[in-house]
Structure 1
Amino acid sequence: MYDLPSEEVGEPGLPDQFHPLQAELLRLTFRPGNYDPEQVFSAMDLNVYYDENQTRRYKRPDWFGVAGIPRLYENRELRLSYVVWQEGVSPSVVVELLSPSTQAQDLGQVEDEPDGTPTKWAVYEQILRIPYYVVYDRTLEHFRAFHLESSGYVEVEVIDDRLWLEELQLGLGLWQGSYENVNRLWLRFYEGSGDWIPTPAERAERERQAREAAEQREEQERQAREAAEQRAERFRRLLLENGINPHEV
């Protein structure tokens, strides 16, 4: 990881504002149900080195997630890249965000490069054997998913814009909502109950709302107790004014 470059001079960066926001939402909600969060890693636009015999070869997914490895490299620091033969675990799921310049390669519709470098599709399917490969076309507001079978990738049916990833005990689907103050269809993960996995900011907001609701209930209960005490006091005084001992009533 320390010897291989994390970026190439002249290599284009992220194509637009949507890519990093969408990838970050995937990272924040990637919580496989059968793994400890400290044994889950994900990243966007990070070099994935896949060939120990040709170490300069890599692919750079828009986003990928790995289950079963430490969140930090050697449990102590952030990764510069993802070197598969060092990590010992291939990604569990890859998401490519389609754009006109990359769509053909992302969908495996082109041959290998002239120098023999395989396409992303070939690397994900034949070399890394990544169980789930997802492509999202935000212009069509539609995503396609492929599951790795013995013969290679087989497209799976996406029902109601949702897909359950059995190996990860996690679902992936399209959510209409506001993220970073942008309201649109976003790709994000959901849990077995069908509920969308909240981001840390969403969890904090829910906790704040829950605290406020609890405080409001406590205040209403306090006001109700005070009102009851005031009514009891008025009744006691009325009895005394009429010569009646309240303790004998």
Structure 2
Amino acid sequence: MQIKQFKYPVEQSEPPRPARETLPTMYDLPSENPEEPGLPDEFHYLQPNFLSLTFRPSNYSPEEVFNIGNMNLYYDPRHPYWYKRPDWFAVVGVSRLYENQDLRLSYVMWQEAVRPTVVVELLSPGTEKEDLGSTVRLSSDPPTKWEVYERILGVPYYIVFDRYTDELKAFVLMAGSYQQISLQEPKIWMPQLELGLGLWWGDYEGITCRWLRWYDAQGNWILTPSERAAVVQQELETERERAAVVQQELAIERQRAEAERSRSERLAELLRTQGIDPDSIT
């Protein structure tokens, strides 16, 4: 007799699902590259910090403003590890904190979805050509800074400053391309921010030279927190001095009134010795 072998039914597996693309987040992307050329010198640390301290657009609350120097700016979701590192840039209309809760490691465009309003590059010998858009690249190379700011991100204002010649260049995005603005003086007004940026000669952090600094609609340079504190302290000191003068004047007035009262009493006493009632004299 032939024994038939029992065959277990073959379990049907589900067809493989297509892989879902997951772009890296701010936490996945590197925030530093020590081997990158053009690493910041001391001026590249001080100037961006000074810009941040004086960047106070009146038409946005501090919670709607993010600005930083020397931070990776990731711009292309098709090439998520491509980035530029502006010397300084500012974004308005975005949360001050990443997702309203964390300090940023980098600025990732496909997560933030708000482009920078202004980018500032500080010229250095190693990056000058790229900063001014005069470099030629291979088609396989990542785009240059100029291409990213102008064509990919569409940053409205691009500012370039050469501290060796104190030359300020300003480019404004018009019809999709940068047009250099002819500056009668080293200042440019940015209506979108209700702020202007110009060259200021003065002392910052113990260094006296020309600095990029923000100014308001009245042409006043925006004060740093320490400068505002000094102004408040000076106003308090002036107020104390004014109060001291008032107190001194009141004391003099009291002394004058006391002397007048004493003189009147002596005169009244003299009249009484002469048999005259001082109250009868008008």
* Gap change, CA 1:207 and 1:36, over 3 Å in 2: same
Query: Could you tell which deviates more after superposition, 230-239 or 10-19?
Result: 10-19
* Gap change, CA 1:14 and 1:242, over 3 Å in 2: farther
Does residue 238 of structure 2 align to residue 213 of structure 1? yes
For the residue of structure 2 that corresponds to 1:242, the secondary structure is helix
| TM-score for both structures, normalised by structure 2 | 0.84
Query: Could you tell which deviates more after superposition, 108-117 or 222-231?
Result: 108-117
> Which one of the candidate residues 145, 161, 170 is aligned to 2:195?
170
* Gap change, CA 1:38 and 1:151, over 3 Å in 2: closer
Task: Report the equivalent of 1:29.
Answer: 54
Task: Report the equivalent of 1:230.
Answer: 255
Is contact 1:113–1:119 with CA below 8 Å preserved after alignment? no
The CA deviation at 1:241 is 1.7
Task: Report the equivalent of 1:88.
Answer: 113
* Gap change, CA 1:113 and 1:98, over 3 Å in 2: farther
For the residue of structure 2 that corresponds to 1:183, the secondary structure is strand
Task: Report the equivalent of 2:40.
Answer: 15
Task: Report the equivalent of 1:200.
Answer: 225
The CA deviation at 1:187 is 0.3
State how far apart, in whole Å, the 2-side matches of 1:133 and 1:121 are: 9
The CA deviation at 1:151 is 4.2
- Runs (4 or more) in structure 1 with deviation over 4 Å come to none
State how far apart, in whole Å, the 1-side matches of 2:165 and 2:131 are: 16
Tell me, which stretches of 5 or more residues in structure 1 are unaligned? none
Amino acid at match of 1:196: W
Give the number of equivalent residue pairs.
248
Query: Could you tell which deviates more after superposition, 148-157 or 129-138?
Result: 148-157
Is contact 1:163–1:172 with CA below 8 Å preserved after alignment? yes
Is contact 2:200–2:212 with CA below 8 Å preserved after alignment? yes
Instruction: Report % sequence identity.
Output: 49
| TM-score for both structures, normalised by structure 1 | 0.95
Task: Report the equivalent of 2:179.
Answer: 154
State how far apart, in whole Å, the 2-side matches of 1:172 and 1:66 are: 15
Task: Report the equivalent of 1:59.
Answer: 84
Query: Could you tell which deviates more after superposition, 9-18 or 210-219?
Result: 9-18
* Gap change, CA 1:200 and 1:14, over 3 Å in 2: farther
CA deviation vs aligned residue, 1:144-164 (integer Å, no higher than 9, x gap): 000001140000122322110
Is contact 1:48–1:82 with CA below 8 Å preserved after alignment? yes
Task: Report the equivalent of 1:142.
Answer: 167
> Which one of the candidate residues 102, 107, 123 is aligned to 1:77?
102
CA RMSD of aligned residues (A): 1.7
Is contact 1:14–1:20 with CA below 8 Å preserved after alignment? no
* Gap change, CA 1:113 and 1:78, over 3 Å in 2: farther
Is contact 2:151–2:177 with CA below 8 Å preserved after alignment? yes
For the residue of structure 2 that corresponds to 1:45, the secondary structure is coil
For the residue of structure 2 that corresponds to 1:198, the secondary structure is coil
Flag the structure with more relative contact order, 1 or 2, with Cα contacts below 8 A and sequence separation at least 6: 1
* Gap change, CA 1:150 and 1:20, over 3 Å in 2: same
The CA deviation at 1:239 is 1.8
Amino acid at match of 2:151: Q
CA deviation vs aligned residue, 1:154-200 (integer Å, no higher than 9, x gap): 00122322110011111101111111111111101111111111111
CA deviation vs aligned residue, 1:4-36 (integer Å, no higher than 9, x gap): 110125335743211111000101111122211
Amino acid at match of 1:37: P
> Which one of the candidate residues 107, 110, 114 is aligned to 2:135?
110
The CA deviation at 1:112 is 2.3
State how far apart, in whole Å, the 1-side matches of 2:127 and 2:71 are: 16
For the residue of structure 2 that corresponds to 1:243, the secondary structure is helix
CA deviation vs aligned residue, 1:100-124 (integer Å, no higher than 9, x gap): 1110000001012573211101110
Task: Report the equivalent of 1:182.
Answer: 207
Is contact 2:38–2:126 with CA below 8 Å preserved after alignment? no
